Amino acid sequence: MEKFDLYILGCGSALPTGRHYPTSQVLNIREKLFMIDCAEGTQLQLRRQKLKFSRLNHIFISHLHGDHCFGLIGMLSTFDLLGRTSKLHIYSPGEDLEKLMRPWISYFCRSIGYDIVFHAINSKEEAIVYEDRSLTVSTIPLKHRVPCCGFLFREKSPLPHIRRDMIDFLGIPFYAINAIKQGAGWTDAEGRIWRHEELVTAADTGRSYAYCSDTVYRPQLSEIVKGVDLLFHESTFADDALKRAKETYHSTARQAATVAKNAEVKRLIIGHFSARYEDEHQLLEEAKSVFADTILAKEGLKISL
């Protein structure tokens, strides 16, 4: 199967603390890079992961808190210095990000050589905000102190595989293969009609990744992310700070695991850790007590689906 890789560039919940960079991730889906959040230090982490800047054309910002977007202007400037010419698309809740960024771009990137296209999205509803031949990206409504949403990346199921033995046996020409993959049958030299189902094997199942950024615990998320291959859910606090989690509209590790369990996801990754926890295994153990297949996010972590 083609690539569907997640790279963790930062998993902290504040500015760099020495243990973690603040939040940013990159998905490599069939050699196209999609960034989720862009905190301070993100472009340095991109270089460390040896990810090609030129393949990054879409950035999804979950909300306008600094630990999720302070890295944007520096990265946009770097792209310009590197001679970028292709469009860059940035998606974020509402129109505030563009209003904030345009003056900065005008001042710091006066002769920028590429177009930046801002897309204002509604953080209160589920909607497809990006689609190409192989992928859809949908919003996941979250509840935080400012408008905030997560993102669901869902790979479209590829066409079925045509059977090599049937190609040879029936002498199927190259030009007919794509039509058969799309549902056509084949009539052989003797006039016998071979059904589509006889000529192909089942396609691989499309893969999926859900990113739930800063949010108070929302049980209804389980229906939105039902059955995904990998779920990232913020886990800023442990049970010892449940009251603080509610006050700041964040979640605990146990609450993240509850969402994963009820959604019947395959794997859970927790992150966005508060700097108060020097040993995040406390968070891991609390999550695993509810959902066993849980791992901690950490800088440099790569997960292939």
Q: Which of 276, 277, 294 is nearest to 285 (CA)?
A: 294
Structure-token match 């944007």, residue found: 72
Q: How far is CA 127 from CA 92, 154, 155, 193, in A?
A: 13, 13, 16, 42
The pLDDT value recorded for residue 16 is: 56
DSSP summary character for residue 198: H
Q: Distance between the two ends of the chain, CA-based, in angstroms? A: 9
- Cβ neighbors of 137 (< 8 A, separation 6 or more) are 34, 58, 60, 128, 129, 130, 131, 151, 152, 153, 154
Predicted TM-score of the model (pTM): 0.90
- The per-residue pLDDT for range 227-282, each reduced to its tens digit, is 999 999 999 999 999 999 999 999 999 999 999 999 999 999 999 999 899 889 99
pLDDT at position 228 is 98
| Residues in CB range of 23: below 8 A, 6 or more apart | 10, 11, 12, 13, 37, 39, 67, 68, 213, 271, 272
User: What is the C-alpha to C-alpha distance for residues 11 and 21, in angstroms, rounded to an integer?
Assistant: 6
Domains contained in the chain, CATH given:
4-158+204-304 (3.60.15.10), 161-201 (no CATH)
- At residue 190 the predicted structure's pLDDT band, cuts being 50, 70 and 90, is confident
DSSP secondary structure of 88-134: EEEEEESSHHHHHHHHHHHHHSTT-SS-EEEEEE-TTS--EEEE-SS
pLDDT in tens, 57-85: 999 999 999 999 999 999 999 999 999 99
Residue 175: band (very low, low, confident or very high) from pLDDT cuts 50, 70, 90: confident
Q: What integer is the mean pLDDT of 151-167? A: 89
How far is Cα 261 from Cα 265, in angstroms, rounded to an integer? Answer: 7
Could you give the 3-state DSSP secondary structure of residue 261?
helix
- Determine which one of 37, 67, 80, 229 is catalytic: 67
- In this predicted structure, what is the pLDDT of residue 17? 58
Mean pLDDT of 83-100: 97
Q: What is the CA radius of gyration of the chain?
A: 22
Compute how many other C-beta atoms are within 10 angstroms of the C-beta atom of residue 192. Answer: 9
CA distance 247 to 38: 25
Active site residue 67: yes
Q: Do residues 50 and 61 make contact, with C-beta atoms less than 8 angstroms apart? A: no
CA distance 90 to 186: 45
- Give the Cβ contact number of residue 160 at 10 Å: 18
